[in-house]
């Protein structure tokens, strides 16, 4: 039903920037939540940034002031601009949306590696 594809990951030096994009294919969907999560081996998947249905952006404390989330309903995309990257930001980044039917949909993830 909802298919999500992340892109934009890669290798960057500390202090650099990357922009991630999550594309939702198929029909245009209405979501009560959309956002980005990340996960490293042996750790819990954590929320990085997201939009509620009210359009309020929420950020993890670790990325506040460095990351910016944005959305484009026409393209069914949610983007994450990541600036001043640190080695601790290294992770697989996942896009997630929650439908008004309360179903969660996840992308396959895109790798971000920040070297020191």
pLDDT tens, 75-105? Answer: 778 899 999 999 999 999 999 999 888 899 9
Q: Rounded CA gap, 99 and 29, in Å?
A: 8
Greater confidence (37 vs 32) lies with: 37
Confidence of residue 71 (pLDDT cuts 50, 70, 90): confident
Supply the mean pLDDT for the chain: 91
Q: Rounded CA gap, 115 and 71, in Å?
A: 28
Q: What is the pLDDT of residue 26?
A: 54
Q: Rounded CA gap, 23 and 79, in Å?
A: 9
């Amino acid at each position: 039903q909802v298919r999500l594809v992340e892109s934009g990951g890669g290798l960057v030096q500390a202090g650099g920037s990357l922009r991630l994009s999550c594309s939702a294919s198929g029909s245009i969907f209405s979501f009560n939540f959309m956002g980005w999560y990340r996960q490293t081996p042996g750790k819990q998947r954590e929320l990085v940034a997201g939009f509620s249905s009210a359009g309020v952006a929420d950020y993890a404390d670790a990325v506040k002031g460095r990351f910016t989330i944005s959305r484009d309903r026409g393209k069914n995309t949610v983007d994450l601009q990541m600036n001043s990257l640190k080695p601790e930001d290294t992770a697989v980044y996942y896009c997630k949306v929650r439908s008004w039917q309360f179903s969660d949909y996840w992308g396959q993830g895109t790798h971000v590696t920040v070297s020191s």
